[in-house]
Structure 1
Amino acid sequence: MLIGELSRQTGCEVETIRYYEREGLLSEPQRSASGYRRYTAEQLGELNFILHCRSLGMSLADIRNLAAFKADHQHDCEDINQLIDQQIAKVHQQVEALRLLEQQLLALRDKCHDSHPAADCGILQTLVEAAEGSPCVCHTPFGQDNHGHSHDFDHAGKKNGRPHKGRP
């Protein structure tokens, strides 16, 4: 099958398929006499494996490792378990980051409950003041979130167009 058909069967964009080939995740297809890529059921299976792993949020490096495990049936599955455990830990971190983001957005949303002209909107005023260096309800002073983690920049540094790590 040609790349367009492989794309249709998997729902994967043609450019993404080519990218996976360049990255070595998808084995190189045979070429027709006119230079067209000719994919087999084997490449279809490889691509479906990659797409399934990507749907689980796995990185290309992790997919590469899993593909190596798949190719070497003698490999101990404890390494696979560890890879999945690491992915689960990443998901937990992402969930916590999203919870913090939700809290920040809720605090910001709480600045305006009624319909006003934009000039009187508490949300917009808070965002403008924060851009000018004032503390805001969604971030604690000095560029730290509610857990004491430092951001890569503070509002004043961003206003001036330059990153600022911490404050004296």
Structure 2
Amino acid sequence: MRSKLLALGAALILALVASTPAEAGRGQGLVKKAQEAQQAVEETQAEAEAAKAEADATAEQAKADAEAAKADADATAEQAKADAEAAKADADQAVEDTKAEAKATADQAKADADAAVDQAKADAAEAADQAADQAAEAVDQAAAEAGAAVESAPEKAEAAAKK
């Protein structure tokens, strides 16, 4: 476009040089119009270049914003994944802790029950020993009383016979 305008300007200058003085005034008007047209074209080109630069900058900013948003989304997804894995690990640990506590409680209950059975056996054995001792004492007492009765029986029989 610029080369076309330069060619047009050159043609106008040649026409002015070759023209007569009467036509020279008219040629100057044409040159002025050509210069105004060229200035308008240059201004339009400058505006177009500025608009293109602004559009390019906007596109670059949009691209940067999109990349930042993607990076944020990726980081959020990674954090969510890490949080989920940590929560699963916590839940697994809680299950293991609960199992360990339940086993410890069951083991303690069994130990307590075994101790209670052993104590009950010991108490029963002691009570049986005491009962056996008391029975032996009662048998000895009864035997002693029976022996005494047997020994005193002839005397009692004589005394009864005398009467």
Bigger fraction of residues in helix: 2
TM-score by length of 2: 0.24
TM-score by length of 1: 0.24
